[in-house]
Structure 1
Amino acid sequence: MVGLALLRRSAAAATLAGVAACAGAAPSLLACAPGQAAQRVDGDTFTQGLVRWRLEAQDPRAVVQAEGGVLDVQTPAGLSLWWRSELQGDFELRFTATALPAPATAGALAGRISDLNLFWHATEPDGREPAPRNGAFASYDSLRLYYAGIGANGNATTRLRHYSGTGARTLLDGWADGAEATPQDRRGAMTPATRLVAGQPVLLQLLSRAPTPADPVHARLVKDGQPLFTLQAGADTPAPLQRGWFALRTTASRLQLRGFELWQCRAT
């Protein structure tokens, strides 16, 4: 029993060390003007429950807790966790996420590693805050938003989509394995950098900024310091979404989040 306790403590310490390394290693993605610096302006330390979040779960057996600095999400089916504050202006959103085996309630999908997914700049077609939905993935098809699915479909795809608000979900970029692959998955098969690893924390950084003629990039998603997806404004691309709401999105999975932070440029 002593050996088992030591092993568990060692594993927990290794996980926390990995989280600290992720959080401390990455500089901000924001390019601030002279006299300004990237600063944390909002976020959640996950010690006060879900007061800053709105939960939409397809299955009532889903368990979501925020305590001790950890947001723990265990769900047998579709689930969206919406940050209650609208995001707009130039910002960077960052957090550390760890994928763990899906709970037993997921039935045939129990134990899988899957679906570290994000919605951002989500609005109803008329620009309002997304109305409550039942947590099923298809119920969000009518929204305008960007969607990134990391290790989705049982860790077989990592994709970026644009939702137009008309029901169209355009696949912009991605990787996919085997039967999941489509011609739009132009990066080819999944790689170690795009796949989730059980118990391995990853730092995600999401940049949103107003594009300029000199720099048309208006969004970038970075995983452990390596860019996954970049969105650029152009004549043949949809008008950039610049405001809206953020959600953690997943299904038949277990995820743990730490250090949820919103950064913006502020005067030094």
Structure 2
Amino acid sequence: MNTDKNSVTTSATTRILLLFLTLFVSGLYGQTDHFRVKGKLLYSDDFDSGLENWVVETPASPGSRVEVLRNKLVIDVSDGATVWFRKKLSGNILIEYRRKVIVAKGGNDRLSDLNQFWMASDPRNPDLFTRTGVFSEYDALSLYYFGMGGNYNSTTRFRKYTGDGERKLLTDLDNEEKLLKPNREYHIKISVYNGTTKVFVNDREFVSYTDPEPLREGYFGFRTVKSRQEIDRFKVYQLK
């Protein structure tokens, strides 16, 4: 009997299977151990208290509304809107939530602009919440920005705003699988960990950027323009 040979073959097969499993799990979690190790839950909002935890910036318009309906944040606007979470965030964190762009027969329905800001601050004003929702008003802020399905669902982009008017384009995706689908719920996860920020969409890594001058604190905001969107299950965790 070739017992020793069979043992070696079995051992080699086991090692290959373990390697494959490790690579599969790494790919599933975007090759980042820290991403899947959630620490303390810092904040959670199921919108059962309305907009109590949020600051809305949007131009006044009879065809626009930002409100909570059936425990979901609804942004239904004909112009731009930013909805800021009131709490300043800092350190290693994970932000996650569910979000959908509604396309039916609404007057503002448009498949575009599932956008967000994070680690946002104003270098010239400690009060960040001073704007009206016009997109250009945010150019002078310091922040990270991820826009999925911008420009009528033709681009998905990640930028860093440097606080002096520059908006550095760091990731530019235009393949169809990285764009929006109507009425589809997206699970968005944004991590900030030791100088690296990442964006995951339905557990797929879209963005990974290690910043030589990382933004370590600031505010998070939902951003869009002319669309109808629903958002729920907002949570912020520490990352270990």
Shorter-chain TM band = 0.7 to 0.9
In 1, Cα distance between equivalents of 2:226 and 2:38: 39
The question of whether the paired residues in 1 share the 8 Å contact of 2:55 and 2:129 is answered with no
- State the match for 1:161 in structure 2: 159
Where in structure 1 do 4 or more consecutive aligned residues deviate above 3 Å? 102-106
Report the alpha carbon displacement of residue 129 of structure 1 after superposing the two structures with TM.
Answer: 4.0
- State the match for 1:210 in structure 2: 194
Report the alpha carbon displacement of residue 150 of structure 1 after superposing the two structures with TM.
Answer: 0.5
Normalised TM-score (structure 1): 0.72
In 2, Cα distance between equivalents of 1:102 and 1:79: 20
- State the match for 2:215 in structure 1: 241
Change in Cα spacing, 1:131 to 1:54, as seen in structure 2 (3 Å) is closer
- State the match for 2:97 in structure 1: 95
Report the alpha carbon displacement of residue 130 of structure 1 after superposing the two structures with TM.
Answer: 1.4
In 1, Cα distance between equivalents of 2:134 and 2:167: 15
Residue identity in the other structure for 2:57: E
Secondary structure class of the residue paired with 1:139: helix
Q: After superposition, what is the alpha-carbon deviation per residue over 1:74-107, rounded to whole angstroms, capped at 9, x for unaligned?
A: 000110000000010111000010111287544x
- State the match for 1:225 in structure 2: 203
- State the match for 1:257 in structure 2: 231
- State the match for 2:56 in structure 1: 55
Matched residue count: 210
The question of whether the paired residues in 2 share the 8 Å contact of 1:82 and 1:247 is answered with yes
Q: After superposition, what is the alpha-carbon deviation per residue over 1:166-213, rounded to whole angstroms, capped at 9, x for unaligned?
A: 1111111112xxxxxxxxxxxxx3222x111111101000001223xx
Secondary structure class of the residue paired with 2:152: helix
Cα RMSD for the two superposed structures: 2.3
Alignment equivalent of 1:74, drawn from 68, 71, 76: 76
More deviation, 62-71/225-234: 62-71
In 2, Cα distance between equivalents of 1:247 and 1:51: 14
Q: Share of identical aligned residues, percent?
A: 27
- Does residue 1:201 correspond to 2:185, yes or no? yes
Pair member with larger Rg: 2
Residue identity in the other structure for 1:65: E
List runs of 5+ in structure 2 lacking aligned partners. Answer: 1-27
Report the alpha carbon displacement of residue 72 of structure 1 after superposing the two structures with TM.
Answer: 1.1
Residue identity in the other structure for 1:101: V
Q: After superposition, what is the alpha-carbon deviation per residue over 1:56-75, rounded to whole angstroms, capped at 9, x for unaligned?
A: 00243321122432111100
